[in-house]
Amino acid sequence: MAHPLQAFFSTIKLFSTLNADELNEILRGIQPVQLKAGDRLFGQGDPGDAAYVIQAGRVQIFTTAEGREIEIAVLEAGAVLGELALLDGAPRSASARAADDCSLFRLDKSEFDFLRRNLRPAAYQLIRAMTVTICDRIRDTNLDVAALMREDAPAVEEALPPTRSGFFKRLFRRD
């Protein structure tokens, strides 16, 4: 019998290339997580031990640098977060907390590692889908950096010593 969440998960890009059997294998390992608005999901530096899928509500991603919070993104229903941890288990590079009351699904790295170690097609398909979204995110992230620098161009140029302004004029020119 099809898993009750199969319909929801197959609409998510990361899972959309998995066939029904593969998706079921992944879904067997997931657990629901409920958060109240403001609850912390994970903190920067925490061990990367799971990926999450948002079913309802919004999750804010932020980092803390030099004592200030910097918002990176607000993710909505259908978004996947923390999935890089499934691959490398590295500490969280940012913190996540519920912006509203949220329903999430959690996929533990240990569950995923079990499938990965056993060379299960489900893990393989998920990694394959991840390589495509990672390429996408590499380009997106670079784009964001460029956009951010362009936004601040006037302030940056003002603060620049005259010899350097040429570089930024060229870099930030809008036309």
- Cβ neighbours of 107 (radius 10 Å): 22
Site for other proteins in 72-131 (CB under 8 A): 72, 84, 87-88, 90, 93-94, 116, 119, 121, 123-125, 127-128, 130-131
Rounded Cα distance between 76 and 30, Å, is 19
- Cβ neighbours of 9 (radius 10 Å): 21
> Which two tokens mark 86?
């499934």
The residue range among 1-9, 27-35, 59-67, 96-104 that interacts with other proteins, by the rule CB under 8 A, is 59-67
Is 162 an interacting residue with respect to other proteins (CB under 8 A)? no
- Tell me which residue has tokens 């609850």: 39
> Which two tokens mark 28?
């067997």
Binding site for other proteins (CB under 8 A): 63, 65-66, 68, 70, 72, 84, 87-88, 90, 93-94, 116, 119, 121, 123-125, 127-128, 130-132, 134-139, 141-146, 148-152, 155-156, 159-160, 163-164, 167-168, 170-175
